[in-house]
Chains A and B, each alone.
Chain A
Amino acid sequence: MFRDNAARNATTDGSSDFSQSAFAKFREAHSAAVQPKWQASVLAKVTELLNLRQGWDGYNAPALKHDAAMFAMVILQNVMKQSTPEPSVVPSSTGGVQLEWHLNRIDLEIHVLAPYQGEIWWTDHATGAESTVSLGKDLSVLDEPIKRMSL
């Protein structure tokens, strides 16, 4: 109960507005210092897409599903290396999110429909190799193209 009261006072006491805003600034600065660059910009893009409403494409496409967006971030969290370029982030007409890279003669697209659901497609124009697999818990198919793009 003590904690509840303290929290309530902090929001009604004018003097604490300053400390709250100072804390928010500190948190922002701290996050910027420790967060990889891709994380902030991809998150900003995903957030923008989450504001799209049903019909955003003019053809009744559903709004982007939160759990699809969250899982896309989880995938990136697991595969992005320090030197990996940021992906393009685009909404799909099925309520999912698509992460795309087109560089170093590699095309890689990850279409996330929901956690563990979707499709991974990549092609290597240098060798002609192409792969399409269902998105699941095993992300090993991403290892090679991500490595190639991160060199």
Chain B
Amino acid sequence: MLSELKNAHIGYLWSRFRDRYPKVQEQPSLEPSFETFGTPPMAQQPSFRFEQFIGVPATRYWFETADDTGLCQVQNDRIIHNWRKREGDYPRYEYVRAELEKDLNTFEEFLVAEDLGSLRFNQIEVSYINTIDLPGTDNPHGAVEQVISTWTRLDGVGRDLEDIAFRARFLMSKDGVPNARLHVSLAPALETTTLNRVVRLDMTYRGKPESNDRSSAMKMLDEGRAAIVVAFADMTTPEMHNHWGRTDVQR
């Protein structure tokens, strides 16, 4: 955590970011997410809002590109780069990764210039949020078997599946030792621009890098992305792969 990074410093950071991110917004901070292992899985306990108890609320800053697709989020214990779908197609992982590297370069230069500490990475996260359209289906929210390969139809005569949601957690191991977790969730959703009914399949890979330097962090980011690509291909149906024209699954 960069405890010396105060809200007042953020203007200096934005002046460095402004060419790439002309828009800025303030948002409530995200709560910490740390993966730990070796304890039995339990029913999920309600999360706690830590920041509401500690005086001045921490702020998360959104720096956005002019076309809205690029978003860099900064708070005093987290830096995130997002690509968001607007008009164009997904520019691929390599592009998004390079954008994150640019964010990190700028942020590290800012920290040095303002004498605010240095980046030490204790948690890495990669998330893919997939909104899946099922054209030709009366109710996409109940047609999960068309998306998820292991699913079978649950409805029957006079019983139509209206919608369904699930979440799954997978332990990811390296040399036999758990080092990350893959969280998968599926839920019914509405596509924000068209209001079409879609299925939302979220995949998040999170874990602690081997060491807290940047190269370890980026290495783990690549591992997380690779794990998600494989999991996505494993969990979704061949029919959907054909529908998407998917040819890039690498194992």
Contacts and interface: CB of A to CB of B under 8 A. Distances in A.
A81 B47 CA distance: 15
A143 B122 contact: no
A35 B48 contact: yes
A39 B46 contact: yes
Interface string A78-90: 1111000000000
Given A39-B48, A66-B3, A115 B38 contact: no
A138 B34 contact: no
B42 A81 contact: yes
Main secondary structure, interface of B, reads loop
Nearest to B34: A74
Given A36-B45, A67-B77, A70-B50, A138 B122 contact: no
B34 A71 contact: yes
Interface in A46-61: 46-47, 50-51
Contact of B45 (A50, A77, A138, A141): A77
Contact of A78 (B1, B36, B178): B36
A84 to B, nearest CB: 11
Interface string B25-41: 00000001011111110
Contacts of B54: 47, 50, 66
Given A43-B50, A70-B32, A74-B34, 13 more contacts: A35-B46, A36-B45, A39-B46, A43-B53, A47-B54, A66-B54, A74-B36, A80-B45, A115-B32, A137-B208, A138-B178, A139-B38, A142-B38
